[in-house]
Structure 1
Amino acid sequence: MSEEQSPSASARPPRQQRAGNTATGARKAASKSNRSRAREFALQALYQHIVGRNDATAIDMFTRDLAGFHKADTAHYDALLHGCITTEADLDALILPKLDRQMSEISPIEHAVMWIGAYEFLHCPDVPWRVVLNECIELAKEFGGTDGHKYVNAVLNGLAPSLRSAEVTADKGKKAAD
């Protein structure tokens, strides 16, 4: 122990890692589900679409060759990639009113994560709204800017009541009863 450390700092126990998380709080690869992996690959592909305006087929071919793709839920990946690209104008129309700035000022990563969240709210009723929200926050934490996950959380939390109204109302009613 160096003499420069204060006594209170040396008395503090070392920071412990939560099981399944990296030092930044993101989930470790081994603890990710096939759908979580599909979202990660879809995010990378959507980033290519937003930034490079690359063709969906070319992006898809490139992404399927990436290491670890075989562990992803390919059906969910396909739905996210092609669904988000074909409905991007509709997704942007839903997201834009929830933003406090222009869409062009949003990071392409956060933009793609919001597309994934809005798309899943609309087209994946088998995925609970809180799971969609949590998965998107995790994506933004792992791939986005420092506080990008907070922005994604705010936007998707704003969208959920209108896109999954019955589910959100039932969930909030359940919490109030507890």
Structure 2
Amino acid sequence: MKKQLRATALVAVLVPALTMGLTSCGKATVSAGDPEVSATVAPLPRDTVTAITTTPGASGSDAGDAAAAATGAGAAKGQDLSGREISALPETTPESPEEVLYLEALRKGGIDTTGVVDQLVGTAHAVCADPNGGQQLNVTALAIAGQLLAQDKTKLSAEEAAKLIDSSARKAYC
């Protein structure tokens, strides 16, 4: 008797709750034929200029640069000034003799450093900061070596590349 009473009470509570949950969704989807949905967007005028306010203490050149950018000075009408298309990434030049030595050792060892110089230099610094002192391969060197392999930047195995990164970093930086 108690089981039947519990089951009846459960049904009495769940049925209205589920029914309200389903009906509360109502018209939650949007269809293409819905008259409330507009498929057009009003165009934005290109010839309006937004006013620029400067804060007290701002340098004159910064305020002037911002004003020139907002008014489109020096740019063709309708051209965005916030970004420009580039055809290739700029090449970075090594900053220190250590970096030159490190990158050359990696290249000679079979790693293409094009486009990943910053990551490799950062890895070298992580190798030198490693508290295990070269007792085992640095985890960052292993991770970067795996990425270099996945990016076809080397024909070495991940472990061989990690050893090369580790030893070259220790010779050049540590």
TM-score (norm 1): 0.30
Between Structure 1 and Structure 2, whose CA radius of gyration is higher? 2
Higher relative contact order (CA 8 A, sep 6+): 1
TM-score (norm 2): 0.31
